[in-house]
Amino acid sequence: MLKNILSVLLGYLIGSFLPAYIFGRLKGIDIRQVGQRNAGTANTFFTLGLYAAIPTGIIDLSKGLLSMWVAYKLGASFTFIQIAGFSTILGHVFPFYLRFKGGQGVATSIGILFYYLYFYINIHAIYLSDILFLLVIVLLIWSAAREGPVVGIIVLPLFAYSLVRNAPRFYLNPFLISIITYIFSINLINTIDRKLFVIRDKEFKRHMWRTILRPAAVVFVFYYLNTDKVSTLYLIGSVTAVFLLLDLTRLFIKRGRDALRFMFKEREGKTFSSMTTFLIASFIIILLFKKDIAILSILFLITGDIFSKIFGLSFGKHRIFQNKSVEGSTAFLAGALIVSFISIPYLDIPWLIMLAGSITATIVEMLPMGIDDNFTVGIISGSVMELVKLFLH
């Protein structure tokens, strides 16, 4: 037990050695008070330059592994060897001699993550197709947002998902998930602190609850996965009838229009709402297409719409058609590909068909067809996937 405790304490002490702080002091500054206000590798690069960042990065990346090696040599148990590595991150973030204000520990976490990945490679749990997919998502999200933390909060969960999916009972999974969760949390904190998602559109703010509730439509997907077409059509048909009734009430009854004004957007004043259009489209999709393609088409509608709205309003600078932007459409494609990737174990659809559907959905969402894309995206992308499937067979 003493060896285990000593390993954890030594890990903390090793982690508390901050080369960024030392290089800053050599330049006469406290690096924790400038730039990103932390003693990390990234802040060293932006504040002190490449020559200070390189040794800082090497030390920060390797000190977690050093702590684990020391713990191993001391004879600590397997679990405490991992805890010693995590303790290094703790020391980096909360160094005792600097009033517990250090760096963010991302580089040290990445060093430990690379160590774990070595073992996943050895058991063939990292597929080339997964790596290529993640690289595409990184490029798409970076093109849409140009912000590292935004890329991190989207790609890291997918990375963890792919590894655990490929090796569901691997003994390192709890530690891998812990490390990735920590790196994700730092990226999320940085995203919030830097206010990277700033949406000024008044109508979106007023009806933000509709975007937040859109993922609730996944209930239809889960229901359809576990039941038959007829039951699902009854469910969606019933919900659609309720929304149709609300639309008809506000369109033809003045009191109803006044009472329901808060639910609908200004541009929906004389037409059916996008919520109703989405439900009608979902009903048609399930009615016309085979189960797997119907489910993926609806997921394109749900995920792509959320991605395009949030990224388009936050980062959209290059307008193309009407209220569409390059950034929003790029994010739509990323969202469609992400939901395709997640669906692989559950849907019997070849990757080529998923790719064709994702690209089609993106193009349809982007083009000004004069019809609500909540209606066209799923139906047209589903039709294309059915055609490609027939062609391949």
Task: Give 168's DSSP letter.
Answer: T
Output the six-digit token pair for 385. 């996937």
Q: Which residue has the higher pLDDT, 265 or 300?
A: 300
What residues make up the domain containing 87? 1-103
pLDDT of res. 170? 95
What is the spatial distance between Cα 117 and Cα 123, in angstroms, rounded to a whole number?
10
Say how many domains are in the chain: 3
Q: What is the average per-residue pLDDT within 124-143?
A: 93
**Statement to judge: residues 296 and 388 lie in one domain:** yes
How many CB atoms within 10 Å of residue 281? 23
Query: CB within 8 A of 112, min separation 6: which ones?
Result: 64, 65, 68, 85, 86, 88, 89, 179
**Statement to judge: residues 325 and 246 lie in one domain:** yes
**Statement to judge: residues 231 and 346 lie in one domain:** yes
Residue 6 binned pLDDT confidence (cut-offs 50, 70, 90): very high
Could you tell me which of 126, 109, 144, 307 has the C-alpha nearest to residue 215? 307
**Statement to judge: residues 261 and 306 lie in one domain:** yes
**Statement to judge: residues 185 and 128 lie in one domain:** yes
Domain boundary among 136, 166, 196: 196
**Statement to judge: residues 81 and 191 lie in one domain:** no
- Tracing tokens 């009806």 back to the chain, one arrives at 207
**Statement to judge: residues 214 and 144 lie in one domain:** no
**Statement to judge: residues 169 and 287 lie in one domain:** no
**319 DSSP β-pair partners:** 325
CB 68 within 8 A of CB 112: yes
Q: Which residue has the higher pLDDT, 209 or 7?
A: 7
pLDDT of res. 210? 67
CB 307 within 8 A of CB 334: yes
Q: What is the average per-residue pLDDT within 254-265?
A: 59
pLDDT in tens, 348-363: 999 999 999 999 999 9
pLDDT of res. 261? 61
What is the per-residue burial (b if ≥16 Cβ within 10 Å, else e) of 372-390?
bbbbbbbbbbbbbbbebbe
pLDDT of res. 152? 96
State the chain's mean pLDDT as an integer. Answer: 90
- Tracing tokens 């039941």 back to the chain, one arrives at 227
First to last CA, the chain: 62
Instruction: Number of helices (H) and strands (E) in the chain: give both, helices first.
Output: 20, 0
pLDDT of res. 216? 84
Compute the half-sphere exposure of residue 278: CA atoms within 13 Å on the CB side of its CA: 22
Q: Quick one: CA dihedral 105, 109, 23, 34, positive or negative?
A: negative
Domain boundary among 152, 172, 196: 196
What is 178-234 written as a DSSP string?
HHHHHHHHHHHHHHHHTT------HHHHHTHHHHHHGGGGHHHHHHHHTS-HHHHHH
Domain boundary among 196, 213, 237: 196
